[in-house]
Amino acid sequence: MSHWLPLAAFVPLVAGALTPAMARGRPGLARGWALAVTAFCTFATAALTRRVALEGPFSYAMGAWAAPLGIELRFDEFSAASLFICVIMLLVLVYSGPYVRRALPATRIDWYYSLLLINLGGMIGFVITGDLFNLFVFMELVAVSSYALVAVGGGRTAALAAFKYLVAGAVSSVLILFCIGVLHALTGSLNMADVARRLATVESRPPVLLALAGLTAGFLVKAGLFPVHVWLPDAHAIAPSPINAVSSALVVKLGIIGLLRIFPLFAAAGAVSLAPLFEALAWLGAISVLAGAFFALFQEDIKLMLAYSTISNIGYIVLGLGLAGELALTGAGVHILNHALIKATLFLAAGAMIHQSGHRTLHDLRGIGRAMPWTTLALLIGALSIVGLPPTAGFPGKWYIALGALESGRPGFAVVVLVGALIIFIYFARMLNAFYFRAPSHKEMLGVSEAPASMLGPVLLLGALCVLGGLLTHWPVALIAPAVGRLAGGE
Nearer to another protein, 188 or 358 (CB): 188
Eight-state DSSP code of residue 66: P
Is 111 near another protein (CB under 8 A)? no
CB of 160 to another protein, least distance (A): 6
SS3 state at 320? helix
Instruction: Determine the size of the site formed for another protein (CB under 8 A).
Output: 29
Is 102 near another protein (CB under 8 A)? no
- Using the rule CB under 8 A, which residue among 5, 48, 162, 337 binds another protein? 162
Is 17 near another protein (CB under 8 A)? no
| C-alpha distance from residue 314 to each of 232, 350, 406, 408, 490 (Å) | 12, 20, 20, 21, 23
Query: H or E element: which one contains 61?
Result: strand 58-61
Positive/negative CA dihedral, 74, 89, 172, 271: negative
In the region spanning residues 239 to 278, those forming contacts with another protein, defined by CB under 8 A, are none
| C-alpha distance from residue 308 to each of 20, 34, 256, 301, 304 (Å) | 34, 30, 17, 11, 6
Positive/negative CA dihedral, 406, 410, 416, 422: positive
Stretch that binds another protein, among 15-23, 181-189, 386-394, 443-451 (CB under 8 A): 181-189
- Using the rule CB under 8 A, which residue among 111, 163, 278, 374 binds another protein? 163
Is 151 near another protein (CB under 8 A)? yes
From the list 400, 395, 220, the residue with the least C-alpha distance to 318 is: 220
CA dihedral 265, 337, 347, 38 (to 10 degrees): 90
Is 156 near another protein (CB under 8 A)? yes
CB of 162 to another protein, least distance (A): 5
Stretch that binds another protein, among 75-83, 157-165, 338-346, 478-486 (CB under 8 A): 157-165
- Using the rule CB under 8 A, which residue among 17, 36, 39, 171 binds another protein? 171
Is 219 near another protein (CB under 8 A)? no
CB of 100 to another protein, least distance (A): 18
Nearer to another protein, 178 or 278 (CB): 178
- How many CA atoms, within 13 angstroms, populate the side-chain half-sphere of residue 441? 11
CB of 150 to another protein, least distance (A): 9
- Using the rule CB under 8 A, which residue among 177, 221, 246, 277 binds another protein? 177
In DSSP terms, 130 is beta-bridged to none
In angstroms, how far is CA 392 from the centroid of its own chain?
18
Nearer to another protein, 191 or 312 (CB): 191
From the list 173, 124, 102, the residue with the least C-alpha distance to 144 is: 173
Is 181 near another protein (CB under 8 A)? yes
Is 133 near another protein (CB under 8 A)? yes
Is 147 near another protein (CB under 8 A)? yes
| C-alpha distance from residue 92 to each of 13, 86, 147, 211, 309 (Å) | 18, 10, 18, 36, 20
- The answer to whether the beta carbons of residues 417 and 316 sit under 8 Å apart is yes
Distance CA 415, CA 153 (A): 41
Nearer to another protein, 143 or 387 (CB): 143
Distance CA 180, CA 49 (A): 28
| Residues forming the site for another protein (CB under 8 A) | 133, 136-137, 140, 143-144, 147-148, 151, 154, 156-160, 162-163, 166-167, 170-171, 173-174, 177-178, 181, 184-185, 190
